[in-house]
Amino acid sequence: MAWSENARFRVLHVIPSIGPLRGGPSVAVRTMAEGLASHGLTVDVVTTDDNGPQRLAVPLGRPVLHNGVTYRYFPRQIKFYTVSWALLKWLVLNLRKYDAVHIHGLFSFASTAGALCAAYYDVPYVVRPLGVLNAWGIRNRRPFLKKLSLNLLETFSTPLYHHGNSSSILVRDPEQFITTVYTIHKTFRRHQQKGSEH
């Protein structure tokens, strides 16, 4: 896949935690972000200082550049749902500056806030649910909160699970996300070119 003229295309990853104690998703988001950055895109990751029962020893609220990706960590106030009010404030003030948003996970404060902000600002976004949509988990693990989260997303995203003309797409694997962002990027470039012709 050849990428070109994409230095101004900005992708934001939103994930509740990239702490090593959180396992695979922490590794995957770094790999995806660095892969996109290696193709010349501007890639940022916003997350919390959560690391399971611990906290990450990282600068808070400041950009941290690593392997071509800018990370921003915000303090976790409440362990349950990984709530961070500072992360929410940053999303409200900054998410609209991005061309595409990749949300990792569903049932967390950061994921819900990211999706709602993207929908509000009409920024195309995709959601990688990290396996949490299996029927047993929906019915048996915090069913009320999961139903509330899904209802919020479905109310403000039109609709979350549609893979058509909607700006919100549910994706299940990294390759599909790369393809989706590439498609969004190509559409963005076409709109830019049309605008410059008028």
Domain boundaries, the chain: 10-197
pLDDT at 121 over 70: yes
**Residue 68: which of 11, 127, 3 has the closest Cα?**
11
**Residue 43: which of 2, 72, 7, 10 has the closest Cα?**
10
**What pLDDT is attached to residue 8?**
73
To the question of pTM greater than 0.85 for the whole model, the response is no
Contact status, residue 110 vs residue 84, Cβ threshold 8 Å: yes
pLDDT 10s digits, 22-69 = 777 888 899 999 988 998 899 999 999 988 888 989 999 999 999 999
pLDDT 10s digits, 146-182 = 666 666 655 554 433 333 333 444 444 445 555 555 5
CATH topology of domain 10-197: Rossmann fold (3.40.50)
Torsion angle of alpha carbons 42, 29, 145, 113, nearest 10°? -10
**What pLDDT is attached to residue 193?**
58
**What pLDDT is attached to residue 90?**
97
